[in-house]
Amino acid sequence: MRLITEVRALWVRHRQPIVRMAVGGALMIPAATMMAGGHLDSLYQADVRGGGMALERSAASDEVARAWSERMMERERELVVASFAKEFDIPVSLAGTIHKAALEAKIPPKMAFGLVQAESSFRTRAVSPVGAVGLTQVMPATARWLVPGTTRADLMNTETNLRIGFSYLRQLIDQYDGDEKLALTAYNRGPGTVSRVMRQGRDPDNGYADKVLTGRSDMHVRLMNARFGRSRG
């Protein structure tokens, strides 16, 4: 509340012209999240008891608030992407692409990065002995089932591969009523195998889900990195 009061007082002193909002920048930055959260009225309207004055929220003030909010959210996204890039030792550009695709597919970003690490060690052109392709190691047949007309060459494209792989994982999460570990196990072993094992009264868990969710590099990943000279192109 103290922060809101200080911001309001600063706004009153510098509202004409609007560009003087820069004077209050230091206070407006931490307040930007509250603006985005629906507290715009409390920042731009003053209701002084006993016949005081109410500040009108102008189109210009709306634009300033929106700009601050958008910049703060973009800065937060940049920091998150940089953090993932450092954690998994990959280029920031690739981290940004994975992060964006995860959000679009409504996959938790941490899970998305863990899956790509486990499947391909972030090698965009990885191909498994059984024919799974790219960062998320999608089988061409699965890709065609999800997106008719998808070719093997299409799966070599980073954005296409991530979109299809994460969409498949999202479908599995929904299929298993939000059970992420079971969905990840099905991603690795196949939903048919998982269903059969469960019908037999056995646990289908093979350790894959834990590896993805912890994002922990195992010996296989380290050997792949060494073999391919840490190249991910």
The C-alpha atoms of residue 163 and residue 104 are separated, in whole angstroms, by 8
Label residues 42-79 b or e (16+ Cβ within 10 Å = b): ebbeeeeeeeeeebeeeeebeebbeebbeebeeeeeee
The C-alpha atoms of residue 230 and residue 228 are separated, in whole angstroms, by 5
Q: Which residues are catalytic?
A: 119
Q: Are 139 and 190 in contact (CB under 8 A)?
A: no
The C-alpha atoms of residue 218 and residue 113 are separated, in whole angstroms, by 15
Q: Are 168 and 145 in contact (CB under 8 A)?
A: no
119 exposed, middle or buried (CB, 10 Å; 0-12, 13-18, 19+)?
buried
